[in-house]
Amino acid sequence: MSADAAPLRPGPAHALLHFTVFIWGFTAILGRSISISAVPLVWYRLLFVLPVMAGLLLWNRTGFRAEARLVRAWLGIGVLVALHWLMFYGCIKYSGVAVAVLCLSSSTFFTALLEPLVFRRRVVATELVMGAAVVVGVALIVRLETHANALGLGLGLGSSLFSAAFGTLNGVYAKNEPPQRVTLYELTSAALVTTLFFAVWPADFVAPFALSLKDFGLLLVLAVVCTVLPWQWSLRILKTLSPYTLALAVSLEPVYSMGLAYLLFPDSEQLNWRFYAGAAVLVLLVLANSRLKRVAPPAIET
């Protein structure tokens, strides 16, 4: 994907969106499979991503320079990204895949509240209703009370809030910029924030030579396949679709993550009627949103 690729039309944007969410569904599985704790996991993920992003910028001759106000905004968004990832993987380590992705789906509701503030528009009642319905849908998938302690629940909901925040802000500050450049600045900031966490929990640091071959390989997949590519796709999608539409589609991530978890960890991730009922609600909500949203194709300069 070239850095200056034209915005997608609504149909292809929705298709790319759902493929992106499907790829993101693997992140929770990889987070569970990697043996190191949340902070070094996020740190190594970023450490692997940044050279790839810098290489893509050089390959595409996009350039690293950007307006100072945009750089400041991207660095601030990177802080939110770091907090989202640290809490998301912390929740996985403490309470499991199901609770983490269940809580993440509530980002639809948070986005319905944040987007009007950021874009200075009125709150849309249907978005709030759909956001609340998503929470009901995922509650059918997993009974939260029996799978999460207070710490796991707090980490999961915090992860969801920060996800909604950086997704909404990217809808403003990444709209007309090359995705590779935006990604590099945001994730550089996220890497710096994550590094600071080692000052608080130095015992969590894992030296490169201490990584197992399995963890190294899984971290590489997490960084390249589940971060570099879908992150750029999501930024391009936001040139056409709203942050709320992106957040609503991300509500399908529990379906993908828990389905994969059931296949890979059948002894600990059991599917029952709540999974199928909740998945059906989520699919119907996403389809309804695609029909209701009138996304006008962006003007193409000639």
Confidence of residue 301 (pLDDT cuts 50, 70, 90): very low
Residue 102 domain flag: yes
What residues make up the domain containing 99? 10-292
Q: In this structure, are residues 21 and 252 in contact, taking their beta carbons and an 8 Å threshold?
A: yes
Confidence of residue 225 (pLDDT cuts 50, 70, 90): very high
Q: Among the listed ranges 206-220, 239-253, 287-301, which one has the minimum average pLDDT value?
A: 287-301
Residue 298 domain flag: no
Handedness of CA 151, 152, 154, 158 (dihedral sign): positive
Residue 3 domain flag: no
Residue 40 domain flag: yes
Residue 5 domain flag: no
- For the chain, what percent of residues have pLDDT higher than 90? 31
Residue 103 domain flag: yes
pLDDT digits (tens, 9 = 90+) for 104-151: 877 877 888 888 888 887 777 777 777 677 666 666 665 544 455 678
Q: What is the pTM of this model?
A: 0.82
More confident residue, 4 or 200: 200
| Structure confidence at residue 299 (pLDDT) | 36
Number of domains into which the chain is organized: 1
pLDDT digits (tens, 9 = 90+) for 251-278: 777 777 777 766 776 665 555 666 667 6
Side-chain-side CA neighbours of residue 296 (13 Å): 3
Residue 299 domain flag: no
Residue 112 domain flag: yes
- Whether 173 shows a pLDDT value over 50: the answer reads yes
pLDDT digits (tens, 9 = 90+) for 174-223: 877 888 899 999 999 999 999 999 888 888 899 999 999 999 999 999 99
